[in-house]
Amino acid sequence: MRILVVEDEPKVASFIRRALEEESYAVDVCTDGIAGLDWAQAVDYDLIILDLMLPGLPGVEVLKRARAAGVKAPVMILTARSEVDQRVKGLDAGADDYLTKPFAIEELLARARALLRRAGGAPTGILRVDDVVLNPVTREVTRDGQRLEFTTKEYALMEYLMRNAGRVLTRSMIAEHVWDLDFDTFTNVIDVYISYLRNKIDKGRERGLIQTIRGSGYMMRSDG
């Protein structure tokens, strides 16, 4: 899951990024409205967290233009003002949720999960493929009741595959949603991580859940 954070106050952006990264999301940060709008259109983000008070271009304007340009990602607005009209303007401009500063970090993460869940179409949030169960809240992954341990990046890749079970995911899609801007697409990092995952979930089983689609990418599927 890749998230764009548009926030001008560097320290606020910094702790939001670290909190999200700890939850194994890939995070990009923009510090002004114009860059935020560019990035929102250039990358297919799973969630955009947008401050309303931005230099360059006000947050509401960023949101309107992004929506007009066809950006479908859920948007959570942050506002320092608790004034109702700001929130109403933001929601009317196409925001899906809002949070007023100062906010609790757990609330930010829970709302982010909720927005991602709604976008993914899984109402409870718990993802299942065959006997593999992934809980995004606790970030626990089990297969056949057996708990599996993942690193942050492995987990992020696993969640992305499971959310899109049954769909072919190209390497560039995986790169875009699991890794952030610093990712170098010319390496075989994705293949390496896929092999890590296979080692952990498919080891010792006849049929692997993660399948290689030749020439395209990968897919997670239960029916083998």
Residues within the interface to another protein (CB under 8 A): 8-12, 15-16, 18-19, 22, 31-32, 53, 55-56, 80-83, 101-106
| Preceding omega of 102 cis (within 30 degrees of 0) | yes
CB of 125 to another protein, least distance (A): 19
Q: Give least dist CB 50 to another protein, A.
A: 15
CA distance linking residue 84 with residue 91, whole number of Å: 11
* Comparison of 32 and 130: residue with beta carbon closer to another protein: 32
Q: Residues 218, 212: contact at Cβ < 8 Å?
A: yes
Residues paired with 219 in a beta bridge: 211
Q: In terms of CB distance, is 20 or 134 closer to another protein?
A: 20
- Least distance between another protein and beta carbon 11 (Å): 5
Least Å distance between CB 14 and another protein?
Answer: 9
Instruction: Closer to another protein by CB, 104 or 192: give it.
Output: 104
The C-alpha atoms of residue 4 and residue 63 are separated, in whole angstroms, by 13
Produce one character per residue of 196-205: b if its CB has 16 or more CB atoms within 10 Å, e if not: bbbeebbeee
